[in-house]
Amino acid sequence: MVLKNQLCFAVYETASEFSKLYSSALQPYGLTYPQYLVLLALWEKDGVSVKDIGEKLSLGTGTLTPMLTRMEANGWLRKERSTVDERRVFIYLEKKALEEKQPITSTISDKIQSCHIELEEYKQLMERLNQLHSKLKIENIDSK
């Protein structure tokens, strides 16, 4: 077995480079890549529970809770405990997150374009990655 011929290694290396790309783009905003994913989820739908964000991003509460606390301290979002069920906490975007959405997404877009990924290639990559994800997910469900 040659390491360079392993799909798992190719995915690992690519994910690492992707993370570096995003980290460098997000650094001026004081955001980490996982924090950006939280913002993406909230830009898609604001006012969702911590549980819903965790499910959407495949993150456990042990990872998500401290991240949300840091983001709240930095003015990106606010947490509100449900008045109906105190165990539920909802997350809302703050003004900063709304104002910085366009500059952040432009910076990310510029970084992606600097990789010379054409629109058609982007669509193909997304399709293939989604197919791979589905196959791996099915395999993981079957092996339980």
The pLDDT of residue 1 is 83
CATH number of the 3-113 domain: 1.10.10.10
The SS3 call for residue 90 is: strand
Domain ranges in the chain are 3-113
* pTM tops 0.85, yes or no: yes
Strands (E), 40-131: 48-49, 77-81, 89-93
Indicate whether 5 pLDDT > 80: yes
- Token pair, residue 87, equals 């165990």
Indicate whether 13 pLDDT > 90: yes
CA atoms within 13 A of residue 13's CA, in its CB half-sphere: 8
Longest dimension (CA), the chain: 57
Query: What does the pLDDT look like over 54-90, one tens digit per residue?
Result: 999 999 989 999 999 999 999 999 999 988 888 899 9
Q: Give the pLDDT mean for 6-26.
A: 94
